[in-house]
A and B are shown apart, each in its own frame.
Chain A
Amino acid sequence: MTANILEVTNLSVEFETFGGTVQAVRGVSFAVEAGKTLAIVGESGCGKSVTVQSVMGIIPMPPGKITSGSAKVKGEEILGLTAIEANRYRGVEIGMIFQDPMTSLNPSMTIGNQIAETLVVHRGKSHSEALAMAIKLLDRTHIPEASKRARQYPFEFSGGMLQRAMIAQSLACNPSLLIADEPTTALDVTIQEQILELLTELQRTEGMSILLITHDLAVVARMADQVAVMYAGQIIERGSLDDIFYRSAHPYTLGLKSAMPSNTGRGDKRLQPIPGSPPDLFSPPQGCGYAARCPQAMQICKRKLPVLTEDPGDSGHLSRCWLQHKDAPDVEELYQPLKLKGTSSAH
């Protein structure tokens, strides 16, 4: 059994707004293994970014509020720490890169100084020492002419180069976990490939774990070892990469897959859109969040929230769906492709 770098258990996050309380994250649990990549997939508003921002302690509180749960880095609780305590792990044990490198870096500071700042704050280096290390870091993320580039400002960098610079900054303290929140969404596909290749390379050489947040199943297929699918603030399916792609257990996961064009079959299957839109998290439905859009929805789905159920024949593959419940046999024939081999309750 490999050790877990990050363990999140039953995390719930709310936001107080004028319109009421948004239950953005509702009881999310997952773990990131050492040296492995966990991808959290989901569409906009499903709570995937709020989840990792809560772990990093960077959601604004108020209006945000972590109402329950724990997050442990190498066994040490990190939720509810003060800002100063949090700095022991934030940027040190866990590095983070964001979707939009243009707005995530300080436009009035040179790239070199921004990376050096991390080292001055967390490692107590002198400025000149830190700057020299910053140039090495830029070099490690394959930025050509690193010493010249370190003296430039963000506006002088292209989007792909900025993302490299941000990766360099997040690597400054040799984190054991890198959180990448939609790292390539703003980039073109050729630049995306460069950045994904860089992350794969760094994972190999540094042995760090990656927690990848994305909406793109193709990026997941390219990068992940483990996958968690989120919908309406909850993880609705979790398992290995192959579990999620080849043995999908939740109707939402299946729905996502059939809504995307595939280039492998060559036969042009018509895309199957998922009708409707995600539920309002101001007042989440009492039953399954997906029930209103689910083609397989049953009576119970609208009334009662399904539990995360593990497939005993396929350990570590969990899905939050009533179709997996042992008392849902009547529909077994009808929903054969969805039904796992057997069922028992876990978590």
Chain B
Amino acid sequence: MLIRTNNLKKHFSLGKGQILHAVDGVSLEIAQNEILGLVGESGSGKSTFGKTLIGLHPRTGGQAYFDDIPLPANFSARDHLHYSQLMQMIFQDPYSSLNPRMTILDIIGEGLEIQGKLNKTDIKEQVSYWLRRVGLHSDHMSRYPHEFSGGQRQRIGIARSMIIAPKFVVCDEPISALDVSVQAQVVNLLEELKQTLGLTLLFIAHDLSMVRYVSDRMVVMYLGTLVESGPSDQVFYNPKHPYTQLLIESNPEPDPNIERQRKHKPITGEVTSPINIGPGCRFADRCPQAMEHCLTVTPNATQVAEQHSVSCHLYTD
């Protein structure tokens, strides 16, 4: 396993003794050359998990391993320098994640410059190669971010993280801000890079159909915890956890005949606050199948099929 987390936690202190449990005990594994999809609604902690994993947030508890080497809970500047060569991130918003005052050459080449292994000419050559590789022109490097469209900027962001030749990349909602026709360009590019470079990806998104399409396995997050994990098609077509079931039932299909047949019974209520959470299943207050002990006992992950596990009392004896 290239990436492994064990009971990873990230809490934010809000003052006055209030604690926000953004990520609250997530254990997962990502194999070499695998795309793991991470789905969840806003506030489920999926972005925080990705950032904590690669050291952008200090960890509150639990362990994380890269290639079986334990990652520090609190990255020092030296750790960042070391691990940023192995783990990179692609951000959601291609507008705010590129410095508007830097040229494309400086943006994409910055990582190599910090590494200090290459001289300016070599860096330029690398930037030029990566611009072409992501479908842009090498003469784009003297331009500034505002001269590019959203899809092009996202490809600049991809080039910036790929030029380091990382082993593992966290893609935090890389296509949410893009138009449909452009989303496919970016997704296919990521897929191609995975194939040719042997990359391992954590693909964070809220678009269920896209996550199913892109990833080999997917995990579903709710209020800081994993509720279900398994092979993508299995989780999508045969969801076990009541939350996953409702999530997939709410996901509309671009097909009128299917929509006409669908029974619409929206999930009631909204995600509860992740502040000062007590014991019990976090979905219990919205769950149509909640039982008494769901409110008091936290469910553990139970295996329901090969590689497919669910954290729900319906599946424990």
Contacts and interface: CB of A to CB of B under 8 A. Distances in A.
A43 B181 contact: yes
Interface string A26-44: 0000000000000000011
Nearest to A45: B179
A242 B256 contact: yes
Contacts of A275: 185
B252 A221 contact: yes
A221 B149 contact: no
B261 to A, nearest CB: 11
A222 interface: yes
Most B CB contacts (10 A, CB to CB) among A218, A256, A273 go to A273
B120 to A, nearest CB: 32
A263 B185 CA distance: 19
B41 A188 contact: yes
A189 to B, nearest CB: 5
Interface residues of B, number: 41
A44 B183 CA distance: 13
A221 B270 contact: no
Nearest to A188: B41
Contacts of A250: none
A51 to B, nearest CB: 18
A330 interface: no
A222 B250 CA distance: 11
A344 interface: no
A196 B236 CA distance: 22
A10 B259 CA distance: 32
Contacts of B209: 218, 260-263
Given A245-B254, A260-B254, A271 B213 contact: yes
A206 interface: no
B251 A273 contact: no
A190 B206 contact: no
A160 B270 contact: yes
B136 interface: no
B87 to A, nearest CB: 27
B210 A218 contact: no
B114 interface: no
A241 B255 CA distance: 10
B180 A259 contact: yes
A158 B213 CA distance: 30
A256 B182 CA distance: 10
Contacts of A242: 256
A270 interface: yes
Given A256-B180, A271-B187, A271-B188, A222 B252 contact: yes
B206 A273 contact: no
A116 B293 CA distance: 44
A245 B256 contact: yes
A268 interface: yes
B42 interface: yes
Interface string A81-111: 0000000000000000000000000000000
B247 interface: yes
B42 A271 contact: no
A338 B160 CA distance: 40
B30 interface: no
A72 B253 CA distance: 34
A190 B185 contact: no
B242 interface: no
B267 interface: yes
Nearest to B151: A277
Contact of B255 (A216, A221, A272, A277): A221
Nearest to A244: B256
Contacts of A197: 264, 266
B212 interface: yes
Contacts of A160: 270
Nearest to B135: A275
Contacts of A158: 270
B264 to A, nearest CB: 5
Contacts of B185: 273, 275
A79 to B, nearest CB: 29
Most A CB contacts (10 A, CB to CB) among B149, B182, B254, B267 go to B254
Most B CB contacts (10 A, CB to CB) among A218, A264, A268, A274 go to A218
Interface string A200-221: 1000000000000001111111
B256 A221 contact: yes
Contact of B267 (A190, A215, A255): A190
B213 A261 contact: yes
A193 interface: yes
A190 B246 contact: yes
Interface in A225-273: 241-242, 245-246, 255-257, 259-264, 266, 268, 270-273
Interface string B130-155: 00000000000000000001111000
Contacts of B270: 158, 160-161, 191
Given A256-B180, A260-B184, 15 more contacts: A44-B179, A189-B208, A190-B41, A193-B249, A194-B267, A196-B264, A221-B252, A222-B262, A245-B255, A255-B181, A257-B254, A259-B184, A261-B213, A272-B184, A277-B151
Interface of B: 41-42, 149-152, 179-185, 187-188, 206, 208-210, 212-213, 233, 236-237, 246-247, 249-256, 258-259, 262, 264, 266-267, 270
22 contacts: A43-B179, A43-B180, A43-B181, A44-B150, A158-B270, A189-B250, A190-B246, A193-B266, A219-B252, A221-B253, A221-B259, A222-B259, A245-B254, A256-B181, A259-B180, A260-B254, A262-B209, A263-B212, A273-B183, A273-B185, A274-B181, A277-B152
Interface of A: 43-44, 158, 160-161, 188-194, 196-197, 200, 215-222, 241-242, 245-246, 255-257, 259-264, 266, 268, 270-275, 277
